[in-house]
Amino acid sequence: MSPEQLFIITGVLLLASIFASKAAIKFGVPALLFFLTIGMVAGSEGIGGIYFDDPTLTQLIGNVALTLILFAGGLDTQWRQISPVLYQGLILSTVGVIITTLMVGFFAWLMLGSFSSFNVGLQGISWQQGLLLGAIVSSTDAAAVFSILRASNLNLKGNLQPLLELESGSNDPMAVLLTAELVQILTTANTSLITLGLSLIQQLLVGIILGYGAGRGMVWVLNNLRLSTQGLYPVATLALMLLTSGVTTALGGNGFLAVYIAGVVMGNLPFACRDTIISFHDGLSWLMQITMFLVLGLLVFPSQLLPIAWVGLAVALFLIFVARPASVFLCLLPFHVNLREQVFISWGGLRGAVPIVLATFPLAAGIADAAQLFNVVFFVVLISVLAQGLSLARVARWLGLAM
């Protein structure tokens, strides 16, 4: 492909995605569904005929995109809004993710591992592979939820919106951490749960400490740089954010968690060129979302989805109607949250791009049945977006939670 062809194709795909986002707002559908569809249509089995089958490159793009998206999400998180629901959100994003992982993992192992006559492509998965599938689909997508609410001109009562925002913004690092650890277990044949637990604690603690320090450090650097050109401030922020992620990971912490916390800390402190920096990262976040969805759509081969459709449907239904509600009810039990609000939080747990990105981890690691696992995850995300996304506004009104 020549450079001019690459530029033309990239420009067409980006413009198509922008127009698709307008259509998504008009019809109340998450934009990611349109972005993925455009990627699939442009792919090798679509009218575009662009052949793309590189999970390692997809994983790299996904990691970069998630880092930038999480930092931008942290910058937009207002402490005064999330402080009343801080403990609920953190428990949902940690304990809730673990509960979802265990329940979906056990269900997948029971369905695909114990009953071999049901296997289609996934030849008797182990309990470790079941847990891996559960970890991959354990995180929720706040962007999809709020795009639907904005399209429907809905505001939620009480603290529902900041709670969903905090949970969705902070559960991605936990899902990434669990997925990476389980991939390592499967590739090294080390099944020690004690080792897994110690590694989780280490990554969380190091990520929190370095993320908080990095957020304070970014503010100090920006306020003391005194650059003559305003456009260099966003570049400096980008460099500091990348350093935060890389150094945290090198020191044994979770880079995604550190970047998100750094964004939250920085976003709630005064710093130079605030509006310019926030606008820059907001636009960069949108570019990363579109790029990530398009690449993931290119990676999907629609003909491979049909053989595992029943598996994806079964996992999606169990996740939506059993695992997600159970994790929400158990996590919010000590806080005496209204039952209607718990039902909506359960229904608002849409799965988005993060599970599809995480599904590339086993692909890149060469784990057995990773391709089929990726297709199952993709199918689960589609079912979640269609079932929950299209009905979210109606459910909010039905429960009397819409202002």
| Residue 150 pLDDT grade (very low, low, confident, very high; cuts 50, 70, 90) | low
CATH class of 55-398: mainly alpha
Look at 222 and 301; give whichever has higher pLDDT: 222
In the predicted structure, residue 257 carries a pLDDT above the cut 60: yes
Report pLDDT for 146: 65
pLDDT single digits (tens) 22-71: 777 776 667 777 888 888 888 877 787 788 888 888 888 888 988 998 89
Report pLDDT for 95: 93
| Residue 124 pLDDT grade (very low, low, confident, very high; cuts 50, 70, 90) | low
pLDDT single digits (tens) 322-350: 999 999 999 999 988 889 999 999 998 88
β-partners of residue 50 are 43
| Residue 267 pLDDT grade (very low, low, confident, very high; cuts 50, 70, 90) | very high
Query: What percentage of the chain has pLDDT greater than the value 90?
Result: 31
Contact present, 150 and 360 (Cβ < 8 Å): no
Per-position b or e across 49-59, b if 16+ CB within 10 A of its CB? eeebebbeebb
In the predicted structure, residue 151 carries a pLDDT above the cut 70: no
Contact present, 141 and 353 (Cβ < 8 Å): yes
In the predicted structure, residue 307 carries a pLDDT above the cut 70: yes
Q: In the chain, what's the furthest Cα-to-Cα distance?
A: 69
| Structure-block tokens of residue 390 | 């299209």
| Structure-block tokens of residue 119 | 């296997």
The domain limits of the chain are: 55-398
pTM, full prediction: 0.85
pLDDT single digits (tens) 280-289: 998 998 888 8
**Residue located via tokens 């999809």:** 144
Using alpha carbons, select from 27, 54, 24, 25 the residue that is nearest to residue 36. 24
In the predicted structure, residue 171 carries a pLDDT above the cut 50: yes
| Structure-block tokens of residue 62 | 């996904």
Contact present, 240 and 277 (Cβ < 8 Å): no
Burial class (CB in 10 A: 0-12, 13-18, 19+), 293: buried
Contact present, 85 and 162 (Cβ < 8 Å): yes
For residue 337, which amino acid is it?
A: V
As a whole number, the mean pLDDT across the chain is: 85
Look at 152 and 69; give whichever has higher pLDDT: 69
Task: Report how far residue 402's alpha carbon sits from residue 378's, in angstroms, rounded to the nearest whole number.
Answer: 30
